[in-house]
Amino acid sequence: MTRLARAVFFLAVCSLAAGCSSAEWVHPNRPKDQFTLDYNKCQADTMRDPKLQQGIQLLIIQATERCVQKQGWRLVEKE
C-alpha cells in the first residue's frame, strides 16, 4: 500500500470514527495536535512488521493504536 493510499485510508477511518463516536485521544502531557504525529509514526513503525505487511487493515489499526497507547495516549469518552 502506498503512502498516499495509507493517508487516504487513515483520514477515512478518522472521519468514520469521529462521526460514530464521542471519544477522543488525550495525553496527560502532550497537546492534541501531537496525536497525529505520534499516530503516523506508530503506523509507519507498524508497517515495518513483516507479519502486518500483508495489508490487513484491522490488524494494522489495532497495532498502531497499541503503539499510541504505549506512548501515553488514551481514548476517552467526551463528556
Helix/strand/coil for 64: helix
Rounded-to-integer distance, Cα 10 and Cα 55, Å? 13
**Residue-level pLDDT at 22:** 86
Residue with cell 487493515: 57
How do residues 11-58 score in pLDDT, each as one tens digit?
A: 666 656 555 568 999 999 999 999 999 999 999 999 888 887 777 888
pTM of the model: 0.67
pLDDT score for 52: 79
pLDDT at 1: 57
pLDDT at 14: 64
pLDDT the model gives residue 21 = 61
| b/e 59-78 (16+ beta carbons within 10 angstroms → b) | ebbebbbebbeeeebeeeee
